[in-house]
Structure 1
């Protein structure tokens, strides 16, 4: 049985106005992850991913590419202690 891994990420670059949130929701749900995604005022996207370590790591790798129209400059990751409620949602 794999351990649950929970991370918070901030993705910067050209990530707003390119369907990054909708893409993130689809990708996270496909991997069975819990959490959320939202736009930030500074033009970046913030997300929380929680689930099996391999699935979270795969999601982080996918975030470095994003949807076709995105241009990801950086993905900053920090570990989180609290585990979000089941399901994945877009905030805002």
Structure 2
């Protein structure tokens, strides 16, 4: 991927127990984005997205809305160094 990029996001609000991780994975798989998503102990969700720049941007934009039952209050995104260690997108437990 010539325009490969990676971002890490922390999403807060009502984002656990509303299929946020599952829908994040579905969206990432559809956009061919690699990385992971996981719940954090404080009730927020952490995700790392790696792939083509426009697809990663779409994932970040999707995080602001999430699945229908979610109520996203804040998304903190930071650019990360591309690691290329991801073979797929996974849900971490």
Please state which band the TM-score falls in when normalised by the shorter chain: over 0.9
Instruction: Return the TM-score normalized by structure 1.
Output: 0.95
Q: Distance in 2 between matches of 1:32 and 1:43?
A: 27
Instruction: Return the TM-score normalized by structure 2.
Output: 0.94
Structure 2 runs not aligned, ≥5 long: none
Contact kept, 8 Å, 1:6 with 1:83, in 2: the verdict is: no
In structure 2, the residue matched to 1:88 is 89
- Residues 14-45 of structure 1 show CA distances to partners (whole Å, capped at 9, x for unaligned) of 00000000000000010000000000000000
How many angstroms does 1:57 deviate by?
0.5
Q: Distance in 1 between matches of 2:25 and 2:56?
A: 13
Q: Which runs of 4+ in 1 moved over 4 A?
A: none
SS state of the match for residue 22, structure 1? Answer: helix
1:1-92 matched pairs, under 5 angstroms: 2-81=2-81, 82-92=83-93
Structure 1 runs not aligned, ≥5 long: none
Q: CA RMSD in A?
A: 1.0
How many angstroms does 1:83 deviate by?
3.1
Q: Distance in 2 between matches of 1:40 and 1:30?
A: 24
